[in-house]
Amino acid sequence: MALAADVALLHDICLVVLVFIITQKEVNTPFIAILLTIVGYSINDTVVIFDRIRENLKLKPKDSRETFPQLVNRSLLETMTRSINTVLTTVIAVLAVYLFGGSAIRDFAFGLMIGIATGGYSSIFIAAPVLVLMRKKEWTREMENIKETPVTPAAPTSRATDAGQPAAPKGKVSTTKRKRR
């Protein structure tokens, strides 16, 4: 998971540097602070997503037919609202600083807006897919095992008559054990 997170961080840093080059903004000491802030912000979001993937892997039953890409997708969906809300809230706050702050802080706020937006994007759309690609051999093997495993019907959980067995006549005790609900 660390390598996938590093790929996403590299994306974030390169994109912010590229935007600063294209817009010809000054690269100075606050620029280094922008990059460090973006790294911290992005890795935090990536850790939240990867932690959910790890939790879902722990909770996954042994006989589950869910593949690793499906588990990652489910984990992303579970954390998507939190990630989007965090990014939007932070970008709105930094946008206010950009619009209403002084000229001295404008470049800093601009860099943070770009970095926070790309950090949220990369955690969802780069780090998780890279993780799936890195574990492709494992989940391919997992898929082969699922195909080879025969599907067994579920055991009946209701009364004997519901399971297709005749009911015992009145006055006689049924030999079929009933499960308690």
What CA–CA distance (Å, rounded) separates 23 from 147? 53
Domain ranges of the chain: 2-148
Q: At what angle do helices 2-23 and 103-122 cross, to 10 degrees?
A: 140
Q: Encoding tokens for residue 145?
A: 């095992």
The stretches in the chain having pLDDT less than 50 are 160-162, 181
CB atoms within 10 A of CB 67: 16
- This prediction has a pTM of 0.69
22-67, pLDDT tens digit by residue?
Answer: 998 888 888 999 999 999 988 988 999 999 999 998 888 877 888 8
